[in-house]
Chains A and B, each alone.
Chain A
């Protein structure tokens, strides 16, 4: 957490609960604009809860989320299972729905939108799948299409819940590149990760969730120096500790 740089997303003494059980409390910190922050923690540590809190889908018990990114520029990619894959929709149509929040519900798409949609698909390497129904895609192809939707949305805040689970190696590479590009263009990205190697390649900052508390640190600290931070991150990731 750095106080000098600007932040569009700040958590102030946040307390979140699921079904009347407090999951996280006294969460204080801000996410730097244009940085990729990894969210790590053991199962049940509150990663998804925090994401729901940030997206405004879970009302805080106490404290608040201060977010200056307008709603239509916030994107959330939940774990893949939330999608109804039997729904008859093609990849292109899914990508195009990304322009819907800012574009409005009533106006049709114009040539400019279709052009952007094609650019987005080309960037993700899924142009050849444009007219394929979602139900016929592999896990990796589907994830690319979903990231395509957030690109279409021109998201300024992007929350990803384990984006690389059940995804092929090649897709991981493409998505890493695209996410870095998005961050360079100023998008604040928060990503739930389990894999240390992916964390090392993707994130600059890390938020470790452990026993109801959140603690801000850097990827450097988690991976190398600072044994305490590294230790808690390793614990949170459910990995064997260095000295434990």
Chain B
């Protein structure tokens, strides 16, 4: 029994690439879920998706200019992500259209531009790699970059945490204090972009959002408090990334989809059996009788 467990859970990490992949996944699992929780609470769950497309042209450009260099691709990704966020923000401010329509337009343009750029310079194998990542190919440079970005995110989030909470709950209170709500919002969007660039190497640009959003939306079924949501989401992300990695090793499936599908399974199970708002909770909750005597 113990041997079996060892063979399933421990032995795979004898390999260096598995150890690096596990650490990368854990680092991402610390940084991404809190961002996802805030995105979800602000009703911006789909913005993460939009931003994931927005970093693609930059990543592709970095790939074209410097080959398969993670720093170059990440830098490109951050720049194009920020550019799209700023463009969408200013278009919506100038025209008075809602920000999500501007964002939708720009992310579609970005996606097309990104795919075009990759196919100009590389093969379809490269495209698959950029789109879906490969956690098993994380080298030491990539690992350091991922860990550094994750640390920056966690630190910055701690710094703006209170402002972010107040801005979510009651933006007018923040504005009343002369704080630029826009500044907090901007820094936060910057963190979203940073996080996605850290994630694309391992999960790919499209699936990096998964580790951000799925644990957050799953946590909603287990906690009603902000600390609880963030804690649960981080725990779920860690379980999913390590578990997905092991699955991909044993079953020989791609690691990115493995991780995200495992997180997705967690989401669906929680929707059925979670503590709050789940199907089971709905069925179980029945109004308690008042216990007052019947009127005569």
Contact = CB atoms under 8 A, between A and B. Distances in A.
Nearest to B177: A101
Given A83-B170, A87-B168, A105 B176 contact: no
Interface in B225-280: 225-226, 228-229
Interface string B163-174: 101101111110
Interface of B: 41, 159-160, 162-163, 165-166, 168-173, 175-178, 223-226, 228-229
A212 interface: no
B169 A56 contact: no
Nearest to B171: A82
Interface stretch (A67-75, A163-171, A174-182, A232-240): A67-75
B225 A88 contact: yes
A88 B176 contact: no
Given A88-B229, A106-B159, A100 B168 contact: no
13 contacts: A56-B178, A57-B175, A57-B176, A71-B176, A75-B176, A78-B172, A88-B223, A88-B226, A90-B225, A97-B169, A100-B166, A105-B160, A106-B159
B177 A89 contact: no
Most chain A CB within a 10 A radius of its CB, from B41, B160, B176: B176
5 A-B pairs with the lowest CB-CB distances in the bound complex, closest first: A71-B178, A87-B169, A76-B176, A101-B177, A88-B226
Given A76-B172, A84-B170, A89-B165, 7 more contacts: A71-B177, A75-B176, A78-B172, A87-B165, A88-B228, A97-B173, A105-B162
Contact of B224 (A71, A78, A133, A149): A133
Interface in A95-122: 97, 100-101, 105-106
A89 B159 contact: no
Contact of A82 (B170, B226, B228): B170
Contacts of A134: 169
A55 interface: yes
A72 to B, nearest CB: 6
A77 to B, nearest CB: 9
A68 B227 CA distance: 38
Nearest to A84: B169
B95 to A, nearest CB: 15
Contacts of A57: 172, 175-176
Given A100-B162, A106-B159, A89 B176 contact: no
Contacts of A55: 175-176
Interface in A28-82: 55-57, 71-72, 74-76, 78, 82
Contacts of B225: 88, 90, 133
Contacts of B226: 88-89
A72 B178 CA distance: 8
Contact of A84 (B159, B168, B175): B168
A229 to B, nearest CB: 31
B166 A88 contact: no
Contacts of A75: 176
